[in-house]
Amino acid sequence: MTGIRARGVNARTAPMEICDAVTRYLQRRRYDAEPRWPLVFSVRWPDQRTLTAQAPDWHKANNALREWAQRQGCPVTNKHRLMVTPVELIDTVTVADEQTALRIADRASARHYHKARQRIDLLADECSIPRDTAASVAKMLDSESDVDVTLVIRAAQFFGAHDATGLTPRQVPLAGFSAKWLDQTHRRNVICTLCGKDSLGLSDRPPELRMRWLDPAYSDEPEMMITRPWRPGGERDIRYVIIVENKDTYQSMPDIAHGLCVWGAGKAILASIALLLPWLTTARPDDGDDSSPQVVYWGDMDADGLEILDAVRHTGVRCKSLFMDVEAYQRYSWFGTNLTSTSTPLTSREPKATPTLDFGERELYLLTCGEAVGQSDESGLSDGPTHLRVEQERIPLIDAADALRSLGWPIAANNDKETQ
């Protein structure tokens, strides 16, 4: 194999510099199919005047480097220089092979390198694949445990011998595996690579959507969960549909005549709304179509919530938003937080294009991404947001009921659920 002429090292600090360089090389090249050896390091010495003036120091450095190279098993070459008398100074130090490099590098990097090479060998042998493919797969599995690497190999052997087309990942009969193990897409991608397939032919779990009647005439009926396209039938006239992001709000919405509440479950709504409720994508109440229901989306006042609102509209659903603009933020910001559910800080993000958001929604989006939106002194927001998130559940339902009434929705006064 062709070696590598490494960068030069200072004669006085050569052992430390070579150790650092070899460590970095092992870190960068542990997943190469065939790392290149040897590594040859040129040793830099000062000019003739400095060598002569500081001869004892440079003799000491030369002897120390020679002893270090001998201990590590690194061949050296010499060159003749004059330091009062002619001497042989080390010209190059060679790290000849992998074993020598593993002795020189720091222990953690040596362990990681050795583990990576073992995995490449294992994948190449067990799956009968070229070494470059095995190296690529091993890199894809870098964060996986040894147990999971073994399971990947077993799964690849299974899919190489069986056709699982049409099954969901949890239905694949992999003996001894957790049914959830194949849920991770990157594992399926690795298995495809090992099997030489473009796809395993597995089916996604059908999207599902939960919704419940808000009409008091149907209050005794259980909520519905649909996995196939659904349209209201019979005499049930749906005129008002509210999509809410979070479960607590979904379960607590007040009665609304001719109303339907859909639980969006965060971003899950994006995979299901147009497929399972296609009639919402064709509803056009603002165009004078009296048969179309009015649709409202209500989510968290944060960057994710506004991005979901934009994405829902991109599916074709024409919907107004509830409490998702700067005016609502100013009213409820004291309910807000800068912490996640695990008490880690929320961080700013780069805003995305959100073409369906109106001016007030876009302002709130920029604000919850962490940008100041240039509000007037009266708003108190000129230096950026106080909080990056105001969660939907914190908004009193009585306020939501009042807001929906202002849109003309038939919510009876003093509805019991408004106080919850």
pLDDT digits (tens, 9 = 90+) for 319-340: 999 999 999 999 999 999 999 9
Give the number of domains in the chain. 3
Does 200 fall in a domain?
no
Does 308 fall in a domain?
yes
Q: Are residues 78 and 139 in the same domain?
A: no
pTM here? Answer: 0.65
Residue 234 zone, left/alpha/beta (φ > 0; ψ -120 to 50; rest): left
Does 239 fall in a domain?
yes
Beta-strand pair 320-321/294-298: parallel
Closest CA to 384 of 394, 399, 376, 374: 374
Assess whether pLDDT exceeds 80 at residue 30. Answer: yes
* CA gap 382, 405 in Å, rounded: 32
Question: What sign for the dihedral angle of Cα 396, 400, 401, 402?
Answer: positive
Domain containing 316: what range?
209-419
Cα 171 versus chain centre, distance: 26
Among the candidates 195, 223, 256, a domain finishes at 195
Q: Are residues 72 and 130 in the same domain?
A: no
Does 201 fall in a domain?
no
Q: Are residues 184 and 328 in the same domain?
A: no
* Burial class of 323 by CB neighbour count within 10 A (0 to 12, 13 to 18, 19+): buried
Q: Are residues 370 and 404 in the same domain?
A: yes
Does 388 fall in a domain?
yes
Q: Are residues 99 and 162 in the same domain?
A: no
Does 358 fall in a domain?
yes
* CA gap 416, 401 in Å, rounded: 11
Q: Tell me the per-residue pLDDT of 120-169, one tens digit each, with 9 for 90 and over.
A: 999 999 999 999 999 999 999 999 999 999 999 999 999 999 999 999 99
Contacts of 359 (CB under 8 A, 6+ apart): none
Q: Are residues 163 and 18 in the same domain?
A: no
Q: Tell me the per-residue pLDDT of 234-272, one tens digit each, with 9 for 90 and over.
A: 667 899 999 999 999 999 999 999 999 999 999 999 999
Q: Are residues 293 and 247 in the same domain?
A: yes
Q: Are residues 331 and 366 in the same domain?
A: yes
Residue 105: what pLDDT?
96
* Half-sphere exposure of residue 27: CA atoms within 13 angstroms, side-chain side: 11
Among the candidates 143, 161, 195, a domain finishes at 195
Q: Are residues 82 and 184 in the same domain?
A: no
* CA gap 211, 23 in Å, rounded: 57
Among the candidates 105, 135, 163, a domain finishes at 105
pLDDT band at 84 (very low <50, low <70, confident <90, very high): confident
Q: Are residues 178 and 43 in the same domain?
A: no
Assess whether pLDDT exceeds 90 at residue 177. Answer: yes
Q: Are residues 138 and 285 in the same domain?
A: no
Q: Are residues 101 and 122 in the same domain?
A: no
